[in-house]
Amino acid sequence: MDTRLQDGAEALLEGCPTAEVSRPVGQWTVAEVGAWLTARSGAGELAELVREHAVSGRALLRLTEGTLRRMGVAPRSRRRELLRELLRLRLQQELEELLSIVGGEHPPRWGHGLMAGTGCDD
**Neighbouring residues of 114: CB distance < 8 A, sequence distance ≥ 6:** 84, 88, 120, 121, 122
- Cα distances from 61 to residues 82, 86, 101, 118, in angstroms, run 11, 7, 21, 23
Type of residue numbered 120: C
- Across the chain, the runs of DSSP E, i.e. the strands, are 114-115, 120-121
pLDDT at residue 107 in the model: 53
3-61 per-position pLDDT tens digit = 554 444 444 444 343 344 468 899 999 999 998 888 875 667 888 899 999 999 999 99
In angstroms, the CA 35 to CA 58 distance is 15
**116: pLDDT strictly greater than 60:** no
Report the pLDDT averaged over residues 57-79. Answer: 93
DSSP 25: G
- Percent over 90 (pLDDT), the chain: 37
- Regarding predicted confidence, which is higher, 87 or 113? 87
